[in-house]
Amino acid sequence: MLEITNISKTFNPGTVNEKVALNGVSLNLADGDFVTVIGGNGAGKSTLLNAVAGTWPVDEGTITIDGVNVTRMPEHKRAKYIGRVFQDPMLGTAATMQIEENLALAKRRGDRRTLKVGITPAERQEYKEILEELGLGLESRLTAKVGLLSGGQRQALTLLMATLKKPRLLLLDEHTAALDPKTAAKVLEATERIVQKDQLTTLMITHNMKDAIAHGNRLIMMHEGRVAVDVSGEEKKKLTVEDLLQLFEKASGQELANDRMLLA
């Protein structure tokens, strides 16, 4: 499904701020894989997702989705295959536009935008139903501006938008990190439900080890721009936080010193 071969990315090359963010990462996802990604600050998790999404070109390596080489494809064209939820709840939605307008934009991801009407009445009904499923009371506020919603509501809406038109690949970049624990759990629950329902191939970054273990069929841990740990199948099901720490030490030769991950 997704084949990442030996990609590298260095930011600000040749300056004092030079930062090797990805250092020859290779990763293959099978159809329907739900992979959780953990790692310390600056390990390259977000960079990996942005490389796949096409936020900027990679320095080396190739990325193919469904056999299509997308390495040189601009971000907006790649969006045809990819649904995304960002860490920042403000980033995934257009605040000055209505809920239904945001959904209608997402519904047409990857399609040519024509002079046909932006939202059809049939769509409105559909949006009402899926918002009802979400259980946040948004179904009665279709024409409310998204800027009026809370961070959690916006993030849940972004999740809906990312999956409204079934993506080949779903990229979740710490999408619950900015939310309060209760809302985070709710959004995560919705994520699990949607991913299961549509059998979506998913890459989910999280800083919470327990979440990383509880969700998905495969877990990777990144360190210094590489995949340091890769666990899947039965082995992942039996995984505990202690196991993970040991795996990390073995792979990286150092102790994991990241309070945020340990305390979470």
**Residue 91 interacts with other proteins (CB under 8 A): yes or no:** yes
Closest by CA to 155, choosing from 97, 206, 89, is 89
**Residue 159 interacts with other proteins (CB under 8 A): yes or no:** no
Among 46, 71, 93, 208, binds other proteins (CB under 8 A): 93
**Residue 148 interacts with other proteins (CB under 8 A): yes or no:** no
Nearest residue (CB) to other proteins, 95 versus 262: 95
**Residue 115 interacts with other proteins (CB under 8 A): yes or no:** yes
Distance set, CA 16 to CA 24, 43, 45, 98, 224 (Å): 22, 19, 22, 44, 18
**Residue 175 interacts with other proteins (CB under 8 A): yes or no:** no
Query: CB count, 10 Å around CB of 27?
Result: 19
Among 15, 16, 113, 125, binds other proteins (CB under 8 A): 113
Closest by CA to 136, choosing from 159, 168, 163, is 159
What sign has the CA pseudo-torsion 86, 91, 95, 97?
Answer: negative
Q: Which stretch binds other proteins (CB under 8 A): 23-31, 82-90, 221-229, 251-259?
A: 82-90
Residue 219 CB, nearest approach to other proteins (Å) = 25
Residue 231 CB, nearest approach to other proteins (Å) = 29
Q: Which residues contact 234 (CB under 8 A, 6 or more apart)?
A: none
Maximum CA pair distance of the chain? Answer: 59
Residue 91 CB, nearest approach to other proteins (Å) = 5
**Residue 116 interacts with other proteins (CB under 8 A): yes or no:** yes
Q: Are 9 and 47 in contact (CB under 8 A)?
A: yes
Closest by CA to 161, choosing from 56, 113, 89, is 89
Q: Which stretch binds other proteins (CB under 8 A): 57-65, 103-111, 126-134, 200-208?
A: 103-111
Angle among Cα 8, 14, 15 to the nearest 5 degrees reads 115
Closest by CA to 205, choosing from 63, 84, 31, is 84
Query: CB count, 10 Å around CB of 149?
Result: 20
Q: Which stretch binds other proteins (CB under 8 A): 102-110, 127-135, 202-210, 246-254?
A: 102-110
Using CB under 8 A as the binding rule, the residues of this chain from 12 to 71 that contact other proteins are 53
Using CB under 8 A as the binding rule, the residues of this chain from 230 to 249 that contact other proteins are none
What is the DSSP secondary-structure string of 61-87?
Answer: EEEEETTEE-TTS-HHHHTTTEEEE-S
Nearest residue (CB) to other proteins, 117 versus 263: 117
Among 7, 79, 194, 221, binds other proteins (CB under 8 A): 79
Q: Which stretch binds other proteins (CB under 8 A): 80-88, 189-197, 200-208, 243-251?
A: 80-88
Point out which residues bind other proteins (CB under 8 A).
53, 74-77, 79-80, 82, 84, 86, 91-97, 101, 104-106, 108-111, 113-118, 161-162
